[in-house]
Amino acid sequence: MDMKGKLGNVSFGGNWSEDILARDQLNSILDFLDLVACRCADEDMRGDKLEEALAYVSEHIEKGDMLGEALRKALALFEPSARQEAVIRAVRLIERFVCEKG
């Protein structure tokens, strides 16, 4: 059973279950972005899954549009080591904004 299904069975007041879901989803996206940073020197990590993650970043993180665009530009760099360095920087910025949020 996924996290949403588990939390759907809980009948307490407040929005804590929604907060848990949002945090769980955000952590999954950050894990995926870490994977992108690890693999981007050897693989083209651009695609639908990345765009879905960046859409979430744009919607839920301050300056998410700017951070997502920085990551897209980094992934478009030709030289693998330069691409990976730029992607790591962009992902770390996203993580920093998430930590500042809460």
What pLDDT is attached to residue 43?
A: 97
What pLDDT is attached to residue 5?
A: 56
* Full domain range(s) for residue 76: 16-101
Specify if 1 maps to a domain. no
What pLDDT is attached to residue 15?
A: 58
Specify if 42 maps to a domain. yes
Number of domains in the chain: 1
Specify if 3 maps to a domain. no
Q: Which long-range contacts (CB under 8 A, 24 or more apart) does 39-46 make?
A: 40/74, 40/75, 40/80, 40/83, 40/84, 40/87, 41/80, 41/81, 41/83, 41/84, 42/80, 44/75, 45/75, 46/72, 46/75, 46/76
Is the Cβ–Cβ distance between 67 and 83 less than 8 Å?
no
Specify if 6 maps to a domain. no
Specify if 78 maps to a domain. yes
pLDDT < 50 positions in the chain: 7, 17
What pLDDT is attached to residue 7?
A: 47
pLDDT tens string 31-44: 999 999 999 999 99
